[in-house]
Amino acid sequence: MKRLALAALLASLALPAAARAPKTYQVTGPVLEVSDDLIVVQKGKEKWEIARTPDTKVTGDLKVGAKVTVEYRMSATGVEAKAEKAKGKKK
């Protein structure tokens, strides 16, 4: 019985961590440019520049002109909070 309770406790603790995992997104289109640290994909009229790291998994032949689907995550690299301006009284 104690093992079952411990398993339930561990499972409940694991859920919040999984819920905080960053959401993944996708963009599909032809490759315009590719390098060791960048992939540029054409999506409609927009060019999407997506960073590439040594950990990026590539399946197939990634080259200019190839149609690809890139899965990516958004993460903040910095945040600057601005102080609110004091509101003056109107006369």
What are the residue ranges spanned by the domains of the chain? 22-73
pLDDT at 86: 77
Strands (E) across 10-91 are located at: 24-35, 38-43, 46-51, 67-73
56 burial via Cβ count (<10 Å: 0-12, 13-18, 19+): middle
With a pLDDT cut of 90, the percent of the chain lying above it is 66
pTM more than 0.85: no
Q: State pLDDT tens for residues 8-44.
A: 656 666 656 556 778 999 999 999 999 999 999 999 9
Q: Which two tokens stand for residue 6?
A: 């411990």
- Closest-CA residue to 47 (of 26, 63, 32): 32
Tokens of 80: 């600057």
CATH topology of domain 22-73: OB fold (Dihydrolipoamide Acetyltransferase, E2P) (2.40.50)
Q: Which tens digits make up the pLDDT trace of 43-64?
A: 999 999 999 999 999 999 999 9
